[in-house]
Each structure stands twice: as structure tokens, then as C-alpha cells.
Amino acid sequence: MLDAMTFDSRDSRYKQPYGAVPSGTQVSLTLRPLRTEGFSQAVLIAYFESSQERRLELPMAWDGIDGDRDVLKVILDTGDHVGLIWYSFRLEGLDGRQEELGPYQLTVYDGTDQVPGWFGEGVTYQIFPDRFRRTRVPDPTGMPGGRTVHTSWREEPEYRPDQNGEVRNRDFFGGDLKGVMEKLPYLHDLGVETIYFCPIFEAPENHRYGTGDYEKIDPMLGTEEDFKALCDAAHKLGMKIMLDGVFNHQGYVSRYFNGDGSYPENGACQSQDSPYYKWYNFSHWPDKYDSWWGIYSLPAVNEGEPSYRDYIFGDENSIVRRWLRAGADAWRLDVADELPDDFVHGIHQAVRETNPEAVVIGEVWEDGSTKIAYGVRRKHILGGHCDGLMNYPFRNSLLGYLMGGDAVHFKNTMETIRENYPPFAFHSAMNFLGTHDTPRILTLLGYGGDGQDHDKDWRASYFLTPEQYLLGRSKLMLGALVLFAFPGSPMIYYGDEAGIEGFEDPFNRRTYRWEMADDVLRRWYASLGKARRELPALRRGSIRWWKAEGKLLSFLREGEGQPVLTAVNIGKAPELITLPWAAKDWMTGMELPAGQVALPPMTGWLLTPYRPGNR
């Protein structure tokens, strides 16, 4: 049986260069089997996925002896291939026996695309616009969707079905763009460099993921002039704006589908002569049609229809281009894996043509390099599609560690991502602990789960006990430390830095109650934001794992400015860690000597080199 030292794809002694490679790269591969195994020869087997099922078998050349091991080498030329290469090794013994190693994944990407680096450097802040800040109680009269407005900002969102058994999400709180404008100084002090907005275009539901009109800012949020003013003000503070592009489906109540006839123009539901009729797939017009996950209020769009493509990204004044010109700096693509690859490529091309410094981030919940959707391996991060992805693997594996898991599982998950992703995608990942689609991280950590062991009425009214709150806050602070120190953009879901609680939607979408914010958490996040802004190693540095074992998680960021060592102990007992230099903790100012020190339980350090006497 071959031992672990025969091949390691993450070790430069066995594979160079590391991880994903641009097309045209010659990859050096080395085997080191024990001499006592008696292997006489080895063959590399490479399968070029999506390239006419191309398969290579290359003999490996014997290259001498390394201690008690034979050394066999081969060069794999990736040629003009873009996609995945699955490779394995067949070793043949003097006695005729054969053993195989693999398969291993090699991601080959288009290296000609110049990806702007700014997104992965700084802090992102996600705003659910209806719940962040309002400057007035709006009047919903005349607005599409039959909306109601909570007069009190401190009321709870509606979650019970109506008389028809539907949860319609038509209750609004009235957060607006001017409210965000008021809080720009707060966001700047928090270290935010990108504001990511959930959808802001006119739509009947409070989440606005069923777009009613891509050309119009929702009137409850404000006007196009308000949006432009917000972008200008944010840019003056060094912040960029990312919009949510929901292009896979639209609203039943929309100018395009117009299911309830609330828009004056004929939509696809009113007439088959409507310019929008071909945008949808009707099995029986007008009442049976494809919809997102079978939800009738979110009719799915036919992304292959040329007129729809022109409207979204093809035409000179298409939606993607228009809002970039209005001041946006980036697009986040909702359910990116449900959009055809060539559709995403078209958006990417339109974005770059409009603003070469703008970026496209995709919503994908798995490893984006191996994602298969609708039977097709997706091209999300092979170049010319998404510049980065939402990093749910980061969130899930870090959450597992914070809930008591072994740090090595977080390390292994992240090393898989680092190995599989092109460098631009790894460093432009959107990392987070929570979003509008997940329970509040404070509640998860404090309660110890998602509350699904109780009914929805219980989850709606549940708030953490004081003991649970303190436990959740302590774990959240450690999780945030890892989040801000890791490669990729650390993303804060609005209010996580202030102690907002709640289980799943809509309880994770409560209003930001500014007067009740937790100052301990806010100061912690602000200090982390300052570190992310001021320490070049956190913005652009490489990562080297220091020790990830049991309850201790530590890694080094280096290569840009002074190195930074992150160390977290989620356990109940001290953990020993060896410091490479005398250090100062960024978060507390505490000074530590070089060498072995004890990291107390439930404690995290963000360490930079320190020489006594140098202040």
C-alpha cells in the first residue's frame, strides 16, 4: 500500500507550480515511492475534461534516489486547455502488480483576464435595504405589490401565512438610501470599503428578489438621483458600491410579466404580442410557466432569448452597463450557478467594457471550481466569468470550528479551496459568517444550533439568555478575528457587529436598532476593520498555516509589509503556541515574547512583530 509520502499535490517537492494554473503552463509532477515497494515504472494518466474527452498517458522518468525513495518525474503540458484536468498515477512493480494514486484535480484557467484586486483587499458590508436605516415612515400608496408599512421600527417582521396560506413578504419597514447616506461615516469608521446592497430596484416584496423594474430604484428607497448621490458620497470616503443582479427570475408583479396587471404596459401575461412574452417559458399561457424553485411569484426567465440578453447586458444602455455608469462599482450575481455560462460571460464582458476596474462576484454555495448545475460543469472561475464567489465553504467550516470542531477540518477545507481556485478567485472571495440567507451568526453560536427543533412561533419570539448571549458574543469575536485575517474580502452582514439576533428568514432580517447596539462588539469589529485597512499583509499577503489542530487555529499572513500571525483558541483550556518573534496583539496592545507561550481559552490574538522600545 502506497504511503502518504509518495505524492502530495500541495507540496512543491511533488507538484510545481502550486494549485490552479493558467492555460499553457507546464506542470511538473514527482512521485517518491519507497524503494522497498519495488516499483519499476510509473505512468501519468491525465483526463482533460470538456476537451473532446482527451486522455493522455505519459511515462514518468526515473530521476534518481532521495534517501530511501525512488524519484520519478513527468511534465504535464496544459496546452490551450481551459477547464479541469483530472490526473492520476499508475505504478507498476517488478512482479507485475499495479497500484493507482488519484485522481487529483488540476484547475486550468484563462490567465489573460486582468482581474482588479481591490475587492479582496478591503472589508465588505452587506445591507438589506428595507431594514438598515430609514429617514421617514413612507406612504406605500401607488407602489406595486399591495404593501404595508410598519410604523414602528422596532416591530417584528411578518412571518405567518395570510388567509390564502401564503407568506407574501409585503410588509415593509421603509429603510431608504438617504438612511444609508446618513450612516456612511459609521461604515467608514467600521473600516468598510465596499457596500454590498441586496436588490434596490422596484419590486413588490420587501426582499426585492422578484424584480419589478430594473430601470427604477424602488420608490420606497428613493430615486435614481438619491442613488447617484450615495455613490458619490461613498466614493469620496474611499468606498465602492456593489449591486445585486437578479437575472435568473423576476417578479410576478413586474412590468415584464405583469401577472396582476398593475403595470400599464402589456406584459407576458396580458398578451403574447408583448415584447416580453419570449422572456418566459409557458407550458400553458398565461397560467402555467417555469418559476424559480416552483414559486409562482418568481417566474423564471429564458436567459437564451436574445432580446433579454440585449436588455440585461448586450445593448449599450443595458441594465448592467447603465447602473455602472450611474455610480456602481460591482455586480453580485444572484444564483449564479442557475445562469448559463455564456450569459455570465456576457455580463462579465459588459462590466469590463463599461469599467475595467469593476468586478463580478457570483453566488455559489459550494466549491465553485467543481460545481455542476443542470448537468454541466460550470466555468465560474476559469476566467472571463466571475472574478470571485461567495465563500460558503469558508463560512460552513469556520462555523464548525467555532461550534467545537477540530481546527484541522477548517484548514483542510480552505486548503482545498486554495488549491482548486485560481489565485484571483481565492483572493477575491467574499468571506462571511452570515448573510440574509442564513440564521444570525450570534444566535447560531449562542443557542448552539438553528432552532429547527422547535416550531416557527418559538423561533420567532426567541432571544438568547444572558449566558447564551455572552457565549455567542465571545465565539463571534473569535470568528470575526479569523474572518478579517483570512485572504479574501471579510463581509459583515448588517448588524452582526451590533449584536442583532434571529433564526432564519425573516428573523435574520430584523431592523438595525441603532440605540440598542452592542458597543463591545462594534469596537471589536472597528478594530479589526482598522487592521484590515492598515496592515498590507492582511490585504494582499499569502497564507501559511502555523498550527491548526484541535481547538487551536493559527496562520501567518506574509509577503506584504510586516507579517501578521493570527491565533485562536476556541477551547476551555490553554493551548501552547510558538511565536516566531516577539509580538504585540493588535486587539489589546498586549506584548508577548518570542518562543512558546500559552494562549488562554476562548481567546484570539492578531499579532505583529514588536521590538521593545519601538512604539
Each residue's pLDDT tens digit, 480-496: 999 999 999 999 999 99
Amino acid letter, 50:
S
Cite the DSSP H helix spans in 155-219.
177-182, 184-189
- β-bridge mates for residue 89, sequence order: 44, 101
Mean pLDDT in residue range 164-179: 95
DSSP secondary structure of 387-398: SEEB-HHHHHHH
Q: CA 422 → CA 95, 106, 413, 536, distances in Å? A: 41, 10, 16, 21
Strands (E), 210-364: 213-217, 240-245, 282-284, 288-289, 330-333, 359-362
The label of the residue with cell 468571506 reads 431
Q: CA 186 → CA 191, 459, 519, distances in Å? A: 9, 31, 13
115-171 pLDDT, tens digit each = 999 999 999 999 999 999 999 999 999 999 999 999 999 999 999 999 888 899 999
Contact 568, 553 (CB under 8 A): yes
Q: Fill in the DSSP letter of residue 560.
A: S
Specify the pLDDT at position 94. Answer: 85
Q: Is the pLDDT confidence value at 470 over 70?
A: yes
DSSP secondary structure of 65-127: EETTEEEEEEEEE-TT--EEEEEEEEEEETTS-EEEEEEEEEEEE-TTS---SSTTTSEEEEE
CA dist., res. 331 & res. 124, Å (int): 13
Specify the pLDDT at position 530. Answer: 98
CA dist., res. 39 & res. 41, Å (int): 6
Q: CA 415 → CA 3, 421, 608, distances in Å? A: 21, 10, 24
Contact 417, 393 (CB under 8 A): yes
Q: Is the pLDDT confidence value at 406 over 50?
A: yes
In this structure, the dihedral spanned by the alpha carbons of residues 348, 536, 566 and 495, taken in order and rounded to 10 degrees, is: -60
Q: What cell does 547 get?
A: 498550527
Mean pLDDT in residue range 600-611: 96
CA dist., res. 289 & res. 209, Å (int): 18
CA dist., res. 267 & res. 452, Å (int): 40
Specify the pLDDT at position 615. Answer: 47
Q: Is the pLDDT confidence value at 100 over 50?
A: yes
Q: Is the pLDDT confidence value at 391 over 70?
A: yes
pLDDT band at 614 (very low <50, low <70, confident <90, very high): low
Specify the pLDDT at position 385. Answer: 98
Specify the pLDDT at position 361. Answer: 98
CA 175 to chain centre: 25
Percent of the chain scoring above 90 in pLDDT: 96
- β-bridge mates for residue 39, sequence order: 93
Q: Considering only CA atoms, give the Rg of the chain.
A: 26
* 3-class DSSP state of 323: helix
The label of the residue with cell 468598510 reads 192
Cite the DSSP H helix spans in 310-378.
319-325, 341-354
pLDDT band at 2 (very low <50, low <70, confident <90, very high): confident
CA 354 to chain centre: 24
CA–CA–CA angle 286, 290, 295 (5° rounding): 100
pLDDT band at 52 (very low <50, low <70, confident <90, very high): confident
Give the CA count within 13 Å in the CB-facing half-sphere of 302: 16
- The per-type count for the chain, helices as H runs and strands as E runs, is 14, 33
Q: What cell does 516 get?
A: 440598542
CA–CA–CA angle 553, 586, 499 (5° rounding): 75
CA–CA–CA angle 583, 588, 589 (5° rounding): 45
In this structure, the dihedral spanned by the alpha carbons of residues 60, 66, 68 and 71, taken in order and rounded to 10 degrees, is: 0
Q: Is the pLDDT confidence value at 98 over 60?
A: yes
Q: What cell does 393 get?
A: 465553504
Q: What cell does 593 get?
A: 515574547
Q: What mean pLDDT, rounded, does the chain reach?
A: 97
pTM above 0.95? yes
531-570 pLDDT, tens digit each = 999 999 999 999 999 999 999 999 999 999 999 999 999 9
CA dist., res. 240 & res. 237, Å (int): 9
CA dist., res. 364 & res. 584, Å (int): 38
The phi-psi region of residue 502 (left if phi > 0; otherwise alpha if psi is between -120 and 50; otherwise beta) is left
Mean pLDDT in residue range 204-219: 98
Mean pLDDT in residue range 445-465: 98
For 119-142, b/e burial (b = at least 16 CB within 10 A) is bbbbbbbbbbbbbbbbeeebebee
User: Quick one: which of 476, 496, 366 has its CA closest to 436?
Assistant: 496
Sheet with 98-109, strands from edge to edge, namely 21-22, 98-109, 83-93, 39-48, 54-59
Specify the pLDDT at position 53. Answer: 78
Q: CA 349 → CA 308, 384, 574, distances in Å? A: 16, 7, 52
CA dist., res. 481 & res. 324, Å (int): 33
Specify the pLDDT at position 1. Answer: 73
CA dist., res. 593 & res. 580, Å (int): 9
The phi-psi region of residue 169 (left if phi > 0; otherwise alpha if psi is between -120 and 50; otherwise beta) is left
Q: Fill in the DSSP letter of residue 422.
A: -
